Amino acid sequence: MKPLSELLQGIPPSATLAVNDKAKALKAAGRDVISLAGGDPDFNTPENIVQAAFRALKAGDTHYPPSRGAMAMRKAVADKMAREYGLTVDPATQVLVSPGAKFLLYAALSALVNPGDEVIVFEPYWVSYAPMVIMAGATPVTAPLDAANGFAITDEIARYITPRTKAMMVNSPNNPTGHVISAEEAQVVRRLALEHDLYLLSDEIYEKLIFEGEHINLASLPDMAQRTITINGHSKAYAMTGWRLGWAAGPKDVIGLMAKLQSQTVTSAASFTMAAGAEALNGPQDAVEEMRLAYKARRDFMVDALNAIPGVECDRPSGAFYLFVRFPGLGTDSMQIASILLEEAEIAGTPGIAFGQAGEGHVRFSIATAMSELERAVSRIEKLMASR
Ligand SMILES: Cc1ncc(COP(=O)(O)O)c(C=O)c1O
């Protein structure tokens, strides 16, 4: 047989797989594994959004929609950008709606890079970032951020910029660290982007899940709109992971190429999910606030409870729904810590190394998990640590 794709074969296997496979095997063997490994809200999609999808289906909105997205949904995005950030975005040319933010990140990278280009990815990064850069045909350059400094972006990152750097990927609030960028960090990013003529991919999918501080939309900083692609979606804020709905807003030429990729591959997002998506953005936001408060209560419970256990350390994240926990009592090898947690306490967490070298020493726990499960997890960790 002739060889398969070198590009795809060259993508490193996910470091999460080993632990996930073990967790599945334990569950299949009847063990009561508590999973804190996922990124899927445990809430249901708010009712007004579900009803909008029903209405669309009943009204026959079941045909191919425009490839760039139903106009009502694109307008909802443009209205949001204007309302929340004071940005003028043309729904006809500057918005793309896709089946999920993940595809949009890949589409944006594909629109930006040529072979030999480099893309800066801050570490720890969401697991798909580096593979996506490779799949788009460029080289990821990982810029480690320091845990001791709360994973803040500082001037230090300048040293990773070369004449080949095309773009930087920024994710705030951050998965996995929960870090929310400050005005000062945003200025560092802006200054470097302007100085070195870089594009910015700003992944803002957790923007509605902030507990302290304020969300900064990087595109709305002076002179940044023409070089920033804002990527966002419904999965996290509206508990809509299974609907597969995301959107991007940015410069006309970049969005145009992303739209070309979409029209030649996945065609579009699903018609009736976009009706629901427009309702999510235009309709009442009470459910979003209720979920945010629930995540905040879980965060506070978990951070306090974990820090009270000898041999466990957990910073209080300002956003998203993850805790990036250290277990000095179990060592510094995150694969090993995740393995001990799974085998001895039946808790599945994601080893920090899955998010790049700078994530080493940590395990990511998702708090998009019912409080009762989190309480059970804490008492298991207490027992585990007391036994060592
Ligand atoms: C940082 C980040 N960006 C993007 C996504 C993808 O979201 P979507 O469900 O819209 O594809 C996720 C999902 O976990 C994420 O954590």
Residues in Cβ contact with 83 at an 8 Å cutoff, skipping those fewer than 6 apart: none
Nearest to 359 by CA among 118, 23, 105, 126: 126
List for the chain the helix, strand, coil content (%; round to 5): 45, 15, 40
Superfamily (CATH) of domain 6-44+286-386: Aspartate Aminotransferase, domain 1 (3.90.1150.10)
Distance (Å) from CA 91 to ligand 1 centroid: 23
Question: E strands along the chain, which residues?
Answer: 34-35, 95-98, 118-123, 139-144, 165-171, 199-203, 228-233, 246-249, 313-314, 322-326, 347-348, 350-351, 362-366
Count of CB atoms situated within 10 Å of the CB of 55: 14
Domain extent listing, the chain: 6-44+286-386, 62-282
CATH topology for 62-282 is: Aspartate Aminotransferase; domain 2 (3.40.640)
Q: Quick one: tokens of 68? A: 């760039």
- Three-state secondary-structure class, residue 306: helix
What predicted TM-score, i.e. pTM, was given to this entire model? 0.96
pLDDT one-digit tens code per residue, 127-142: 999 999 999 999 999 9
Query: Residue 230, by phi and psi: left (phi above 0), alpha (psi -120 to 50) or beta?
Result: beta
Question: Of ligand 1's atoms, which has the minimum distance to the CA of residue 233?
Answer: 10
Each of the 388 residues of the chain gets a pLDDT tens digit; together they read 999 999 999 887 776 667 777 888 888 999 999 999 988 999 999 999 999 999 999 999 999 999 999 999 999 999 999 999 999 999 999 999 999 999 999 999 999 999 999 999 999 999 999 999 999 999 999 999 999 999 999 999 999 999 999 999 999 999 999 999 999 999 999 999 999 999 999 999 999 999 999 999 999 999 999 999 999 999 999 999 999 999 999 999 999 999 999 999 999 999 999 999 999 999 999 999 999 999 999 999 999 999 999 999 999 999 999 999 999 999 889 999 999 999 999 999 999 999 999 999 999 999 999 999 999 999 999 999 999 8
**Atom 13 (ligand 1) nearest CA:** 39
Q: Which parts of 237-333 fold into alpha helices (H)?
A: 252-264, 271-282, 286-307
Atom of ligand 1 nearest to the CA of 102: 11
Distance CA 205, CA 83 (A): 17
Compute, in angstroms, the gap from residue 133 CA to the centroid of ligand 1.
15
Side-chain half-sphere of 107: how many Cα atoms within 13 Å?
35
Q: Which atom of ligand 1 is nearest to the CA of 246?
A: 10
* Shared fold status for 6-44+286-386 and 62-282: no
**Cα dihedral 353, 355, 359, 362 in deg (nearest 10):** -70
